[in-house]
Amino acid sequence: MILRKKNFNKRNTLATSLLILLALSLQAGFWYKTNHIKPQLGIMKQVPTLIEAKAMAFGDDQLYFRVQALNLQFMGDSWGRSTPLKDYDYKLVYRWMSFLDQFDPKSSFLPSSAAYYYSKTQRPSDVTYLLDYLEERSFKNPEDNWWWLSQSIYLANSILGDKQRAIKIAAVLRGVKKEDLPIWARQMEAFLREDLGETEQAADIMCDAIRNSKNFEDLPQHEIDFFIHFFNERLKTWKGKEDELIQYCASRPAPVNTP
């Protein structure tokens, strides 16, 4: 009985080993025949219709927005991939951002992605679509989106080299009706005008920033000194002292809000 049991165990062990070897052989053969086949993965999904999105949201628009906004940031970087920003379809990026704004027009997530992430594309012309998005969003409510106006000015001027477009945006930013708007935001158009050699227009805009400052006299001394230096040394439109600056600006015309 003992001899029969040992022979039975040996046969079982041999059969198991053969099955494992066969499985490994089949697995190796399958890999050899298919290892060159790669899945056709796209970078970005197409934007759904509003009806499709509402159905997928199941009544929770905020959850849908957060999930899709996060997915947008990582599209193209799934399944072990890392996609260069220049390979994205920026028309589609623009469409996604404009579409998702319908679900949360106040969130800073999408404009942050546009200004700080997607704008790092290796192909500067792509930034045009990001600028279109930031402009459309910001122009609807400049008071709440003044920061994105300032970022749009940077993109237009420094990335695209389009000073006229940057001036147009800066004029909107200067006109924001917000008492605590930083004074540098109202000055941005003046710097752009200075670069174009439009010193008189730049002086008018700097004076407009002073007039719209809630308490100009209470500004830090270094900021007041900068105004004096800007007029005296850079624009060369005025030579005077600190106590004469407000009177000087009172004599200058108010600038128009279009370039």
Please list the rounded mean pLDDT of every run of 10 residues in the chain (259 residues): 56 80 88 74 82 90 92 78 85 95 93 95 94 96 95 96 96 89 93 94 92 79 90 90 85 73
Which sign, positive or negative, has the C-alpha torsion 84, 87, 89, 94?
positive
- In 84-126, beta strands by DSSP E: none
- Residue 184 vs residues 64, 92, 118, 134, 210: alpha-carbon distances, Å: 37, 34, 26, 20, 11
Q: Contact at 8 Å (CB) between 258 and 171? A: yes
Contacting residues for 85 by C-beta, under 8 A, at least 6 apart: 118, 120, 121, 122, 126
Rounded to a whole number of angstroms, the CA Rg of the chain reads 31
Tell me phi and psi for residue 213, to 5 degrees: -80, 130
* The pLDDT value given to residue 85: 85
Amino acid 258: pLDDT = 52
**Cα–Cα distance measured from residue 132 to residue 147, given in angstroms and rounded to the nearest whole number:** 15
Q: CA neighbours within 13 Å on the CB side: how many for 31? A: 6
* Confidence (pLDDT) at 12: 75
- Report which of 94, 99, 148, 147 is spatially closest to residue 121, judged by C-alpha positions: 94
Tokens 């996609």, residue?
A: 83
Q: Which residue has the tokens 């008018």?
A: 204
Residue type, 246: I
Q: How far apart are CA 48 and CA 99, in angstroms?
A: 9
Tracing tokens 């930034």 back to the chain, one arrives at 127
Q: Residue 232 half-sphere exposure, CB side, CA atoms within 13 Å? A: 12
d(CA 201, CA 205): 6
Report the pLDDT value the prediction gives residue 259, as an integer from 0 to 100: 47
Closest listed residue to residue 168, CA positions, set 65, 256, 41: 256
Q: Within 10 A of 230 (CB to CB), how many other CB atoms are there?
A: 19
Count other C-beta atoms under 10 Å from residue 126's C-beta. 22
